[in-house]
């Protein structure tokens, strides 16, 4: 199975991605870094500790940096709820986290398993950028990097042209993309163009709710309560009764290589723009004359993916 280091800002869709990875026989969660983003880092860490304890995941979970590299922190409790998991009320964790920093966990796990570990970033890039300061060889030590982030065609979900995971810490994202341009395999970037095609419906919601009744698994109840909040947020935001579920698609593609294609592209992060800071600019026509530095997810098959996700959750949480 594929060993993954998951760096996330749990978060409703992060929680679904973690549950999917815990349930998928082809994935091994080798470590988790809690990164501030959807909610502050302490709340993210608590969510990660509790969820993984309930899921039976026995991997080190390290708390990341308190704040982004340069700009002030921002949080999305309107989207994810005050604690990050919508209406869900979590028990207290009985486990404590790993004593290392998030950056150090990236470095240690990558050095322990050179060429094996797959990095999966489902939140801002702060801790991976800090890890690169400790170990500049990370792009060569990791087997591959998969990232949920960016809006290549300039329709953001945070600023008019910026996507959340990049907008929270643009300098970190820029450093990571630059450093990984020398990796043997280009990072895979799941931008909003790909992830917004995954739209949960009432039918999807009902399958998740049925999981709670069917399995009695405490995580099923947490996901249902979290998702209800996520639907309410999307409705209030003008999208109707649906939810854009971003992170699980990128997680599933990292594990299976399925449900989407990829295409090479040169992408960079705008840091200076007064209107467009945090935008991921894709050089579609090769104007820069730079080699592509990422593989962008494309041609998503959302229905197949949603069916796979639900089936994996159903079998994983029934065990």
Interface residue list for ligand BDR (CB under 6 A): 11, 13-14, 38, 76, 79, 122-123, 148, 157, 163-165, 246-247
Nearer to ligand BDR, 157 or 204 (CB): 157
Candidate ranges 107-115, 181-189, 233-241, 245-253; the one touching Ca ion (CB under 5 A): 245-253
CB of 21 to ligand BDR, least distance (A): 14
Candidate ranges 5-13, 105-113, 237-245, 304-312; the one touching Ca ion (CB under 5 A): 5-13
Find which of Ca ion, ligand BDR, none residue 79 binds, CB within 5 to 8 Å per kind. ligand BDR
> Is 246 a residue of the active site?
yes
Nearer to ligand BDR, 104 or 165 (CB): 165
Supply the DSSP string of the chain, one letter for each residue: -EEEEEEE---HHHHHHHHHHHH-TTEEEEEEEE-SSSS-HHHHHHHHHHHHHHHT--S-EEE--SS-SSSPP---HHHH-TTSSTT--PPPPSS--EEEEHHHHHHHHHHHSTTTPEEEE-S-SHHHHHHHHH-TTHHHHSSEEEEE---TTS--SSSSSB-HHHHT-HHHHHHHHHHGGGSSSPPEEE-HHHHTT-EE-HHHHHHHHHHHHHH--HHHHHHHHHHHHHHHHHHHTTS-S-EE--HHHHHHHHHHS-S-EEEEE-EEE--S-TTTTTBEEE-TT-TT-PPP-EEEEES--HHHHHHHHHHHHHHHHH-
Nearer to ligand BDR, 247 or 268 (CB): 247
Find which of Ca ion, ligand BDR, none residue 168 binds, CB within 5 to 8 Å per kind. none
Read off φ and ψ for residue 304, nearest 5 degrees. -60, -40
The residue nearest ligand BDR at its CB is 164
CB of 316 to ligand BDR, least distance (A): 20
Is residue 14 part of the contact set for Ca ion (CB under 5 A)? yes
CB of 13 to ligand BDR, least distance (A): 5
Nearer to Ca ion, 17 or 141 (CB): 17
Sort 28 into a burial class: Cβ within 10 Å, 0-12 / 13-18 / 19+: middle
Candidate ranges 2-10, 202-210, 228-236, 289-297; the one touching Ca ion (CB under 5 A): 2-10
Q: Which residues touch 97 (CB under 8 Å, ≥6 apart)? A: 34, 45, 48, 49, 60, 61, 62, 63
Is residue 131 part of the contact set for Ca ion (CB under 5 A)? no
**Which of 146, 246, 253, 308 is flagged as catalytic?**
246
Find which of ligand BDR, Ca ion, none residue 231 binds, CB within 5 to 8 Å per kind. none
Is residue 123 part of the contact set for Ca ion (CB under 5 A)? yes
Find which of Ca ion, ligand BDR, none residue 193 binds, CB within 5 to 8 Å per kind. none
Find which of ligand BDR, Ca ion, none residue 81 binds, CB within 5 to 8 Å per kind. none
Is residue 167 part of the contact set for Ca ion (CB under 5 A)? no
Q: For Ca ion, which residue of 76, 103, 122, 251 counts as binding (CB under 5 A)? A: 122
Active site amino acids: 246
């Amino acid at each position: 199975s594929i060993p993954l280091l998951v760096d996330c800002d749990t978060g409703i869709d992060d929680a679904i991605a973690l549950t999917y990875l815990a349930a998928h026989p082809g994935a091994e969660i080798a470590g988790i870094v809690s990164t501030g983003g959807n909610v502050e880092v302490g709340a993210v860490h608590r969510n990660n500790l509790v969820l993984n304890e309930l899921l039976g995941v026995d991997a080190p979970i390290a708390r990341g940096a308190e704040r982004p590299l340069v700009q002030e922190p921002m949080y999305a409790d309107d989207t994810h709820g005050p604690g990050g998991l919508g209406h869900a009320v979590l028990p207290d964790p009985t486990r404590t986290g790993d004593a290392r920093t998030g950056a150090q966990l990236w470095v240690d796990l990558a050095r322990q398993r050179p060429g094996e570990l797959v990095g999966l970033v489902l939140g801002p890039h702060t801790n991976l950028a800090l890890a690169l300061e400790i170990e500049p060889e990370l792009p060569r030590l990791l087997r591959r990097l998969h990232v949920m982030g960016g809006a290549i065609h300039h329709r953001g979900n945070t600023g008019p042209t910026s996507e959340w995971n990049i907008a929270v810490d643009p300098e970190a994202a820029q450093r990571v993309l630059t450093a990984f341009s020398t990796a043997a395999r280009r990072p895979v970037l799941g931008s909003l163009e790909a992830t917004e095609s995954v739209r949960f419906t009432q039918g999807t919601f009902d399958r998740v709710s049925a999981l709670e009744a069917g399995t009695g698994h405490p995580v099923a109840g947490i996901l249902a309560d979290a998702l209800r909040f996520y639907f309410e947020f999307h409705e209030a935001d003008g999208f109707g009764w649906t939810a854009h579920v971003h992170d699980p698609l990128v997680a599933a593609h990292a594990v299976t290589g399925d449900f989407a294609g990829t295409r090479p592209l040169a992408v960079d992060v705008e840091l200076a723009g007064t209107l467009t800071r945090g935008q991921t600019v894709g050089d579609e026509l090769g104007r820069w004359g730079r080699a592509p530095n990422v593989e962008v997810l494309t041609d998503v098959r959302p229905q197949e993916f949603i069916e796979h996700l639900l089936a994996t959750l159903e079998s994983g949480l029934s065990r």
